[in-house]
């Protein structure tokens, strides 16, 4: 039962991580790439770490994994926001606004 | 079971490296490097359980800290850099 749950979480997480990688490579604009990368960064990471936590049980390793998950959840969106902000400040205009101006 | 997750993460890391090498703007490269760092943390966590060595989790935690700080530092550097407006908006898309 535990193995099945862990399998499911790890497989779903792997799928999300792969989707993020493909999106990062294939999306047309910077902001679309940012969206693909940041969205799957948090979800894929959380699912894979949850899968390992289920496998680890109540041990010190599980506590460390929870700390890693919390830290990644805190820093991932912050880094994405800082990146988008820096890109916007340096003059990269999102495509949608360009279409509105026309 | 861990092998599947390992392979998926490794493929994603390769895709991120391709984007970092090919990225048209500097922000694409920073994004790809940031993603590469996050995936490194994940890979370390999975490898710790793949080989049954939970010591690797400490490395993963340390790497997560270093990665976050370095990405913010690089962004601060590029944010303050004066860029030529037209060229920048032409370049970054």
* Residue in A closest to B32 by C-alpha: A24
Residue B86 banded pLDDT, cuts 50, 70, 90: very low
Mean pLDDT throughout A79-84? Answer: 88
Q: What is the 3-state secondary structure (H, E, C) of chain A?
A: CHHHHHHHHHHHHHHHHHHHHHHHHHCCCHHHHHHHHHHHHHHHHHHHHHHHHHHHCCCHHHHHHHHHHHHHHHHHHHHHHHHHHHHHHCCCCCHHHHHHHC
Q: Which of residues 63-102 of A touch B (CB under 8 A)?
A: 64-65, 67-68, 71-72, 75-76, 78-80, 82-83, 85-87, 89-93, 95
Tell how far CA A40 is from the center of its chain.
3
* Residue in B closest to A46 by C-alpha: B42
pLDDT at residue B15 in the model: 92
- Residue B7 near residue B33 (C-beta atoms within 8 A): no
Residue B12 banded pLDDT, cuts 50, 70, 90: very high
pLDDT at residue B92 in the model: 54
Using one digit for the tens of pLDDT, what is the confidence trace for A15-51? 999 998 898 888 888 888 888 888 778 888 999 999 9
Contact A90 B5 (CB under 8 A): no
* ipTM of predicted assembly, 2 dp: 0.84
Contact A24 B5 (CB under 8 A): no
- Residue B1 near residue A4 (C-beta atoms within 8 A): no
Angstrom distance (rounded) from CA B61 to CA B65: 7
């Amino acid at each position: 039962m535990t193995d099945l749950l862990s399998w499911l979480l790890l497989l779903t997480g792997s799928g999300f991580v792969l989707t993020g990688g493909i999106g990062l490579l294939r999306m047309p604009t910077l902001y679309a790439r940012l969206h693909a990368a940041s969205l799957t960064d948090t979800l894929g990471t959380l699912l894979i770490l949850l899968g390992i936590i289920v496998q680890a049980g109540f041990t010190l390793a599980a506590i460390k994994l929870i700390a890693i998950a919390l830290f990644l959840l805190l820093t991932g969106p912050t880094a994405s926001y800082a990146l988008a902000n820096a890109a916007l400040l340096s003059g990269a205009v999102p495509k949608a606004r360009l279409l509105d101006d026309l | 079971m861990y092998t599947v997750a390992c392979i998926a993460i490794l493929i994603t890391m390769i895709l991120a490296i391709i984007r970092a090498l090919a990225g048209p703007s500097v922000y694409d490269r920073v994004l790809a490097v940031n993603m590469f760092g996050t995936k490194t943390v994940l890979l370390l966590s999975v490898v710790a359980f793949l080989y049954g060595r939970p010591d690797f989790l400490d490395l993963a935690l340390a790497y997560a800290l270093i990665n976050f700080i370095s990405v913010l530092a690089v962004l601060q550097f590029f944010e303050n850099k004066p860029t030529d407006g037209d060229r920048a908006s032409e370049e970054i898309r």
